[in-house]
Amino acid sequence: LGLRHNLYIGTAVDMAALNDPAEPTYRKIVESEFSTVTAENVMKWESLEPTRGVYNWGPADELVDFARRHDQRVRGHVLVWQNQLPKWLTDGVADGSIGKAELRDLLRRHITDVVTHFKGKIWQWDVVNEAVSDPWDTPSTLHYKGFWAEHLGPGYLADAFRWARAADPKALLFYNDYNIEAFGSGNPADDKTQFVYDMVKDLLARGVPVDGVGSQGHLGTQYGNFDTLQVAAALRKFAGLGLSTALTEVDVRSEMTDGVRAGNPNEINPRLQASAANFSILLQACLAERHCLSYTVWGFTDKHSWVPGTFPTEGLASIYDENYQPKRAYNVMRADL
């Protein structure tokens, strides 16, 4: 718990690792180092409803119970996203057996059922995740991207927040995205921050219940640093709309050259240092802004990081190494707190 303004410090939790009897250290660190948890995968639609109409609540319930036992708050992740959708849903849309009206109905039912199931137990919901394109997409002009915008049009955003609010009026409802961590950096990501700002402002003006914006914080040492003021500027921009903010998925990956793989400290150490600086810059910005409610890392150990599976030449993204030894980033964060 960050003392300066009760900042909650969290991690994404991999349920398989949490339940692995061969890895008691994983569970011990989740219990002792964090005040909020996020399901890395088990609250995603493909995991909750792998077969149409048949819910699989078990693993998600287990995490929520774990959090309650350890006095931790839960970030719900994620209600609406274009990835990790069940195959029956994407196949049905692709082969035309699920049309637009039915798809909208399925989304309403999904949000209502999931938010109702966890009612009273979720602190912040990521209602919509990654709805906006990036400068490197085609067209490069920022736009609403992905499955839901393509099939329902951008109106799904307002619907999703309204349905979520109706099902649990007390949960804080977040829009969550990456490349919105900074503003005023001169990086093209400035434009995405501005786009999301305009988008949320417009939703609020129409009375749509949005309570917060989550900045994921998937950074990489090869991309250089933002500075604390640029990150604070983005957070403050969202706060200017009356919103809460959060850092929701922080990790800082590095290119794994042969030297790093071979364990050459002359190559590893600068990466660990750059990584620590990035973790700290995001943390200090969040600490500087009272509306920044939580700072969550996307997994805490390189042993279970999603990075090598998704970015095959990259790694070293977490605050503990593969043997659960705290890295420089961990120590720097502790000093910040």
| Shortest spacing between CB 136 and ligand XIL, in angstroms | 16
Q: Does 40 bind ligand XIL (CB under 6 A)?
A: yes
Q: Does 49 bind ligand XIL (CB under 6 A)?
A: no
Length of the chain: 337
- When CB distances to ligand XIL are compared, the closest residue is 306
Q: Does 41 bind ligand XIL (CB under 6 A)?
A: yes
Q: How many residues bind ligand XIL (CB under 6 A)?
A: 6
Residue ranges with strand state E in 18-156: 36-39, 73-80, 124-129
Q: Are 176 and 248 in contact (CB under 8 A)?
A: yes
Give the CA radius of gyration of the chain.
19
Q: Within positions 290 to 319, which residues make up the interface with ligand XIL, using CB under 6 A?
A: 306
Q: Does 249 bind ligand XIL (CB under 6 A)?
A: yes
Active-site annotation, residues: 130, 249
| Shortest spacing between CB 249 and ligand XIL, in angstroms | 6
Q: Does 181 bind ligand XIL (CB under 6 A)?
A: no
Q: Within positions 216 to 245, which residues make up the interface with ligand XIL, using CB under 6 A?
A: 216
CA angle 42, 48, 52 (to 5 degrees): 155
Q: Are 332 and 287 in contact (CB under 8 A)?
A: no
| Shortest spacing between CB 40 and ligand XIL, in angstroms | 5
Among 11, 72, 124, 129, contact with ligand XIL (rule: CB under 6 A): 129
Residue ranges with strand state E in the chain: 8-13, 36-39, 73-80, 124-129, 172-177, 212-215, 218-220, 244-255, 292-297, 314-315
Residues lying near ligand XIL in the complex (CB under 6 A) are found at 40-41, 129, 216, 249, 306
